[in-house]
Amino acid sequence: MIVSTPPSATADPHDVLGYLLKHAALQLTALIDAALEPFDIDSKDFGALRVLAHREPTSQLEVAKTLGIDRTTMVALLDVLERKGIVTRRPDPADRRRNVVELTAHGFKTYEDAEAAHGRAESEFLGAISPGAVDQLRRTLRTLVEH
C-alpha cells in the first residue's frame, strides 16, 4: 500500500524537497526584501529589529545568539543600523564590556512599518494556498525544524 509519494519518484529537480524548501525560502526572502526596501532595511535587519522591539534592551551578544549569528556579524549589522539612526549603542553601566542596544524612536517606527510590510509580503507569498494549508505548513515546519 502506498501511503505517501516516494521521495524521488521523478527526475525533475524542481520536485525534490530540498529544492522546494530552498526556493520557497529564497522567494519569500526576495519578496520581504522588496517590501522592506522603502524603509531602508532588509530581511536580516528586520530580524534584529524584531528581537529588539520585543525585549528589554540587551547586549549585542544576546541579540546575536537569539538570531543564531556570529557576534562579529552582529557588529557589522549594528554598524549600519546605527548609522541610519535606527539603533543606539552605549556601554552597560553595570558591565562596561557590554553594549546596550536600543531602538531609537525612528527605529521603533521603522520596525512597526516594516512589520506591517513584512506581513503583507508573507500574505502575498501565501496567497495561492488556503488559510488552513498555511497553518498546516507552519505546524509542519515547526515540527521539522524543532527549535
Give residues in contact with its own copies (CB under 8 A).
3-8, 11, 13-25, 27-29, 32, 43, 47, 50-51, 53-55, 66-67, 115, 118-119, 122-123, 125-126, 128-129, 131-138, 140-147
The DSSP-derived string for 1-38 is ---S--TTS---GGGSHHHHHHHHHHHHHHHHHHHHGG
Binding residues for DNA, per CB under 7 A?
44, 59-61, 64, 69-76, 78-79, 89, 95-99
Q: What is the dihedral of CA 37, 40, 42, 44, to 10 degrees?
A: -160
Ramachandran angles phi, psi of 27, nearest 5°? -65, -40
For residue 106, the partner it binds in DNA, its own copies, none, with Cβ less than 5 to 8 A by kind, is none
For residue 99, the partner it binds in its own copies, DNA, none, with Cβ less than 5 to 8 A by kind, is DNA
Bridging pattern class, strands 95-103 and 87-92: antiparallel
Q: Cell triple for residue 21?
A: 524548501
For residue 61, the partner it binds in its own copies, DNA, none, with Cβ less than 5 to 8 A by kind, is DNA
Please, which residue, 96 or 147, has the CB nearer to DNA?
A: 96
Please, which residue, 75 or 128, has the CB nearer to DNA?
A: 75
User: Least distance from C-beta 13 to its own copies, angstroms?
Assistant: 6
Q: What is the C-alpha to C-alpha distance for residues 126 and 135, in angstroms, rounded to an integer? A: 11
Please, which residue, 15 or 70, has the CB nearer to DNA?
A: 70
Q: Which residues share a beta bridge with 99?
A: 91
For residue 51, the partner it binds in its own copies, DNA, none, with Cβ less than 5 to 8 A by kind, is its own copies
Residue 119 vs residues 45, 82, 93, 116: alpha-carbon distances, Å: 15, 25, 37, 5
